[in-house]
Amino acid sequence: MSFLERLKKMFMSPGEGGAGSKYNSRLLLLLLLGVALITFNSYLSCSNDRAAPMEHAAPPAMEVVPPDVQEQELAALLNQIRGVNNAAVRLTLEDSGRAELAYDREQTRRQTVEQDSGGGTREIIEDTSRLTHVILRDAQGREVPLVVRENQPRYRGVLVVADGVEDPAVRASVVEALRAVLNLPYHRITVLPRGN
């Protein structure tokens, strides 16, 4: 006995006919159509989840330049200073930086006063608060959170090894460049000549 025949048997009693039989047949048809639509919808949502991996997991506004990329950029910048050649940079990270996101706050307050049969009163105050991040849609249709303020990474110190820094004027230029770019005090910047 097929599944459809079993369902039909459940909705129709033996010897039933006429208007009630038509009603039960329509009900059975609607039930099967509903199950088919739910199954089809879940299949589509599963395939869409697999087809579109988390493209917007790290929003562009929150991206922080990795230290090794910044080290390479600094080395390339230092190599452009007159007298500096073959510079290598090593950064010591203190804080990787943070992005402060905007959010909506929804607060509700409900106050109820109850009186019992003995003449006493009881006051109930219920406060609820809900925070949700403000989400914007960019030009490509991706959802990204609204960034209010972005704190840049902070560095504990920097080490530079390069050719040409034996000259005090060249070394001073390198230190000043690093101070300006990284916002570090002098005692956290070490510049050494490259060995043979």
Residues facing residue 70 across a β-bridge: none
Residues 13 and 88 in one domain: no
Q: Is residue 70 part of a domain?
A: yes
Q: Is residue 21 part of a domain?
A: yes
The pLDDT, as a whole number, for residue 137 is 84
Mean pLDDT in residue range 152-177: 90
Residues 155 and 185 in one domain: yes
Rounded percentage of the chain residues whose pLDDT exceeds 70: 72
82-106: burial string, b at 16+ Cβ within 10 Å, e else: eebeebbbebeeeeeeeeebeeeee
Q: Is residue 44 part of a domain?
A: yes
User: How many structural domains does the chain have?
Assistant: 2
Mean pLDDT in residue range 147-173: 87
Residues 71 and 46 in one domain: no
Q: Is residue 139 part of a domain?
A: no
Residues 11 and 47 in one domain: yes
Q: Is residue 105 part of a domain?
A: no
Residues 89 and 159 in one domain: yes
Residues 156 and 86 in one domain: yes
pLDDT at 196 over 80: no
Residues 15 and 90 in one domain: no
Residues 10, 13, 15, 19: what is their CA dihedral angle, to the nearest 10 degrees? -100
Q: Could you count the other beta carbons within 10 Å of the beta carbon of residue 62? A: 14
Residues facing residue 130 across a β-bridge: 106
> 99 near 61, Cβ under 8 Å?
yes
Residues facing residue 108 across a β-bridge: 128
Q: Which long-range contacts (CB under 8 A, 24 or more apart) does 165-171 make?
A: 165/83, 165/84, 165/191, 165/192, 165/193, 166/193, 167/83, 169/83, 170/81, 170/82, 170/83, 170/84
- Name the more confident of 125 and 35: 125
Residues 73 and 12 in one domain: no
129-156: burial string, b at 16+ Cβ within 10 Å, e else: eeeeeeeeeeeeeeebbebeeeeebebe
Q: Is residue 133 part of a domain?
A: no
Cα 121 from chain centroid (whole Å): 48
Structure confidence by residue, pLDDT tens digits, 3-46: 666 656 665 555 555 555 666 677 767 777 777 778 777 666 55
- Name the more confident of 191 and 93: 191
User: Which CATH number belongs to the domain containing residue 66 in this structure?
Assistant: 3.30.300.30
Residues 87 and 157 in one domain: yes
Q: Is residue 80 part of a domain?
A: yes
Q: Which domain holds residue 24?
A: 3-51
The pLDDT, as a whole number, for residue 170 is 92
Q: Is residue 82 part of a domain?
A: yes
Residues 46 and 22 in one domain: yes
User: Helix (H, G, I), strand (E, B), or coil: what is residue 103?
Assistant: strand
Rounded percentage of the chain residues whose pLDDT exceeds 90: 19
The pLDDT, as a whole number, for residue 48 is 47
pLDDT at 142 over 80: yes
